[in-house]
Chains A and B, each alone.
Chain A
Amino acid sequence: MLQNFVNISAVEGPVAWNRPKAKTMTGRATLLGSFSIAVNHHGSTTIPNEAILTKTVEKNITSKHESDELRWSKLMASAQTGDEADYRQLLTELTDVIYNFLCSRFGKHHFIEDCVQETLIAIHQARHTYDQHRPFRPWLFAIVRHKAIDTLRKQTSRKKVTNQYRGEQEILSQVTQQNEADNEIIRSHLLDSLSEQHREVLVLTKIIGFSVAETAEKLSISESLVKVRVHRAINKLKKMMEANQL
């Protein structure tokens, strides 16, 4: 290992990290796992040059990837035979990987959570197509990418629907004679105080008059989720109205 070190006085150009203050200290401080900075007993610090550091970091990352790859491949092979514990471990590990991957691509958005869940379900449905003799990561990330695009598409169409029906809601509130309760809600801006998810289901079902099935289709969610959201939205509205003594 020592032949890889160069004396600090011989390093040309900027050094990528802070030089150790205690030069008289003898020993080694571990940096990035297997990388070391050596301080000898003469007090002169020997540090690895930048190229070696980069190489070592890359080597560490590669070996981490390889070990993950091997472990996931084995866990999936075991899951294919029906081993629940291995499968649970695999999915738990992958959840973090998928979440971090999506966050690094799209930032932290509320749909990332949905996307992770969709991906886990897709992995479950596609588990019979994983071939142990092929690398695991490309198989996994092909599914992740596909599901991410799918979720983004759904998000876009959902926003379009919401915007479209927000416009319709405004027209309806101006032109048609809504029943008093509806108008009261709209005039008092109670809807605005609801979350977007609750507002959109309420507008679509109670104000525009779509059925639960139609609303579920327009928002690309299940009918039961529509019912739950309507129920919660109404409860919130009730509470707000009581608070406002409407």
Chain B
Amino acid sequence: MNKHESLISNLSSNLAPVSPPPNINRLALGWFALAAIFVVAVTQLIDPIRPGALSQLGAEPRFLLETMSGVAAILWFSLLAFRSAIPAALTRQFAVAGLVLMAIWLAQYVIGFISPTLEPSGLGKRKFCYLETMVYSIPPILAGLFFVRRLYPLRPVRTAMSIGLTAGMMPALFMQLACMYEPSHILAFHILPGLLMVGVAAGIAAWWQLRQPD
């Protein structure tokens, strides 16, 4: 392996110490908490949440379950996104579990077409809920990409897509409390714009990657 000796010598000479790796779960949870606080605060600031939405959480167990499964799916995906930024930190089982949780949450809205969790109503409708969903997810996406950029994602675009999905789904979920409750409206005006953010995040990551020197 003499051919590699000069490379090894170059890499190991003047070796700078590196800071120990961050606790990836703590980092992900920190990002999740900050992003959630941001989304809740800015949504509330622009327009108050639907009247009686919080009391519905206590009164309707299915609504609470739906909301909690959304929180669990998003939380899991934030861990997944950050783990994917460290080689071998994300296992296949962990990724599959995240997808299953996300599918369970979204399936509840589809089931809502037949048997809605809450009585569908236009109460609390926000005029630009789809735009709000998209816009509010951009700062969390940028913050997430900033954090993972310091790690070593082997597939940066895929990592960015996970961050985009997590960040997009946060305002989408909160719109369940802030906007009107109606399954088709939720899927078309909250979930779909949230899903679109996957593409936005992937685009940002791809652009970022292109700008990186080799």
Contacts and interface: CB of A to CB of B under 8 A. Distances in A.
Interface of A: 79-85, 87-88, 91-92, 95-96, 99, 113, 116-117, 120-122, 124-131, 134, 138-139, 141-143, 146, 222
Interface of B: 1, 3-5, 7-9, 11-21, 85-89, 151-152, 154-155, 214
Contacts, number: 78
A131 B154 CA distance: 16
B88 A139 contact: yes
B12 A91 contact: yes
Main secondary structure of the interface of B (DSSP, over half): loop
B22 to A, nearest CB: 9
Contacts of B3: 113
B88 to A, nearest CB: 4
B17 A80 contact: yes
Contacts of A121: 7, 11
A138 B11 CA distance: 22
Given A120-B7, A129-B151, A222 B16 contact: no
B72 to A, nearest CB: 25
Contacts of A127: 18
A131 B7 CA distance: 24
A74 to B, nearest CB: 14
Given A91-B8, A95-B1, A80 B87 contact: no
Nearest to A131: B21
B154 A99 contact: no
Top 4 closest A-B pairs, CB basis?
A: A82-B17, A138-B88, A126-B152, A128-B18
